[in-house]
Structure 1
Amino acid sequence: MHWQTTRYSLDLSRPHVMGIVNVTPDSFSDGGLHATSHTAIAHCEELLKDGADILDIGGESTRPGAPPVSQEEELARVLPVIRHAVTLGVPISVDTYKPAVMQAALDLGADIINDVWALRWAGDAQGKTGQDVIAAHPHCGVCLMHMHRDPQTMQAAPMEGDVVPQVLSFLERSAKDLRALGVDKSRICLDPGIGFGKTVKQNFSLLARQEQAIPQGYAVLAGWSRKSSLAAIAHTSLAQAAGMNIELRRAPSVTAAVLAVQNGAHVVRVHDVRDTVSALRVLAAMQAEKMPPLSKAALANT
């Protein structure tokens, strides 16, 4: 399987590590660390040295309760970083739900639009939707994520019941709607949306049953990095997890990335690129030594 993007066709026979570049003052785990163009560009280059396959640049936090950012502010944050990043020789993803930001990023040569709203946001004053932007582009990749409610309310009233069939239904419909506009299946990646309006138990249900939550034949992205559900498991409660040092979330994050790949994820979106790359190399070395299962004929002759 390949994921087609603007400039690259990504061979998904091996997992790809997407490094997070938050050009924001308020992201939940690294807000303010890379909030200027200069520091964000330096962080892009550092992530590439650590082994990132893709860079994901975002100018608005989508943490629970995060306030929205104006289109003008988001453009001012991300465009200088994208302009430099597209010269670095790797696919560039832009984390945005605003059609005007999508268009501006693609005009600069970005390869992927990563949208937590799955192209459903309808706030563009010009009437253009995210679907319009993606459908009009000949090759760009797109990641459609499941989110319950919105960042301001998603954790105040999370989903109820078994989330797996609900997520599957949403992603099937989102992909189908986009394909109806002429977007090839090879351009579409799907993300179950860990932490976006789900409880701790529901998030781990999505990890355990990840292959059931994603329609067959699509690229799969998993974003577990430093999520509060991991901290809640490492501690005893979400209340304690909220104050958990980010460094203490590193090992659980890397573990979750490896488990997501084992369960079928093709791309993992992470803060801790170097450690994740190393862990995935260990997984690959183990998998390379697996013996193929014996056929029925071979078993009969033993």
Structure 2
Amino acid sequence: MSKQSGRGRVAGLPDWDRCAVMGVVNVTPDSFSDGGRWFDTTAAVKHGLGLVAEGADLVDVGGESTRPGATRVDEAEELKRVVPVVRGLAAEGVVVSVDTMRASVAAQALAAGARLVNDVSGGLADPAMIPVVAETGAPFVVMHWRGFLQGDAVHGAYADAVAEVVDELHARVEAVLAGGVAPDRIVVDPGLGFSKEAEHDLALLAHLDRLRALGHPLLVAASRKRFLGRVLAGPEGAPPPARERDAATAAVSALAAQAGAWAVRVHEVRATADAVRVARAVEGARTPGGAPGTDSAEGAR
């Protein structure tokens, strides 16, 4: 664990002295959140650099929507979307994560400069993924996943969501370790919104300590998700559209940072960047002699 934050350190990545902020670049025409806005290499790279300017510590580039009912793109199209953007951002010194379920995309993105593989299937969608990650030594996000969001998989059934997600993630981490990925390069993610209803997502957020007890750094990806729309709508109202959930996302980011998350994954960076820095300052104020100030020029805004 990092001496200063206790959030865990991911080998091969910077050791941020607070919850890190992962900005999202969707190079897709059909993302639930911002599909089509950055569906061009130049625009996507510019957007990623803008996220860094607003306080993102790393940028997650994906070329395939994982929203419920989304049709998978073929391998060639995903490569065409993702690799040039990864290369462009890495060339500018950005810490880049690649969001993919395909081993071939992960391998080419890593060759183009990506430093982290974020696979929402935790290596289950492509049997070649774990060998590729193990061979390259890349850090790897293992997300809780019960299959592609089609049919019955969209709505998960749980007797105890927290216990089942923890147990299933533990089993998956063991499989990834057995496949040769080093323990200090594994990040876990509860998979908010994936085969889960709002009550499941909220329960997981309320018990992030149980997920951290798995012994690996924790990534929380709540940004603009359906459960936030349900919370904001109340019992009778219609959920606000995805892009009107950013304040709620920043609230979750502050809670996750306070609970010891290693990073939060968000579409709108500025509010979350401020939220995690405030959480760090409060954390520092609890420690005798702790510095409640900021950790970078960004915090001086």
State if a TM-score over 0.5 links the two structures: yes
Q: Which moves more between the two structures, 283-292 or 141-150?
A: 283-292
- 1:159 is aligned, of 150, 157, 160, to 157
1:134-145 equivalences under 5 Å are 134-137=133-136, 139-145=137-143
Once residues 116 and 148 of structure 1 are traced to their aligned partners in structure 2, the CA distance between those partners, rounded to angstroms, is 10
Which residue is equivalent to 1:282? 278
Once residues 35 and 86 of structure 2 are traced to their aligned partners in structure 1, the CA distance between those partners, rounded to angstroms, is 18
Once residues 40 and 184 of structure 1 are traced to their aligned partners in structure 2, the CA distance between those partners, rounded to angstroms, is 32
Once residues 238 and 172 of structure 1 are traced to their aligned partners in structure 2, the CA distance between those partners, rounded to angstroms, is 38
Q: Secondary structure at the match of 1:11?
A: coil
Deviation, structure 1 residue 238: 9.3
Structure 1 unaligned residues grouped into runs of 5+: 123-127, 293-302
Q: Secondary structure at the match of 2:238?
A: helix
Say whether 1:111 aligns with 2:115. Answer: yes
- Residues 212 and 84 of structure 1: CA distance in aligned 2, closer, same or farther (over 3 Å): same
1:76 maps to a residue whose letter is K
Say whether 1:254 aligns with 2:245. Answer: no
Structure 2 unaligned residues grouped into runs of 5+: 2-8, 289-301
Deviation, structure 1 residue 59: 0.1
C-alpha contact 1:172 1:215 (8 A) present in aligned 2? no
C-alpha contact 1:207 1:263 (8 A) present in aligned 2? no
TM-score, normalization: structure 1?
0.88
Once residues 185 and 167 of structure 1 are traced to their aligned partners in structure 2, the CA distance between those partners, rounded to angstroms, is 19
Which residue is equivalent to 2:186? 188
1:102 maps to a residue whose letter is A
TM-score, normalization: structure 2?
0.88
TM-align CA RMSD? 1.7
Deviation, structure 1 residue 181: 2.9
Deviation, structure 1 residue 147: 1.8
- Residues 11 and 238 of structure 1: CA distance in aligned 2, closer, same or farther (over 3 Å): farther
- 1:33 is aligned, of 17, 25, 37, to 37
Which residue is equivalent to 1:146? 144
Say whether 1:24 aligns with 2:28. Answer: yes
Deviation, structure 1 residue 153: 3.2
Deviation, structure 1 residue 65: 1.1
Once residues 42 and 224 of structure 1 are traced to their aligned partners in structure 2, the CA distance between those partners, rounded to angstroms, is 24
Which residue is equivalent to 2:294? none
1:116 maps to a residue whose letter is V
Q: Secondary structure at the match of 1:132?
A: helix
C-alpha contact 1:225 1:253 (8 A) present in aligned 2? yes
Which residue is equivalent to 1:295? none
Q: Which moves more between the two structures, 262-271 or 157-166?
A: 157-166
- 1:213 is aligned, of 211, 214, 221, to 211
2:104 maps to a residue whose letter is A
Q: Secondary structure at the match of 2:67?
A: coil
Say whether 1:90 aligns with 2:94. Answer: yes
Deviation, structure 1 residue 156: 3.9
Once residues 120 and 238 of structure 1 are traced to their aligned partners in structure 2, the CA distance between those partners, rounded to angstroms, is 38
Which residue is equivalent to 2:296? none
Q: Secondary structure at the match of 2:256?
A: helix
- Residues 247 and 262 of structure 1: CA distance in aligned 2, closer, same or farther (over 3 Å): same
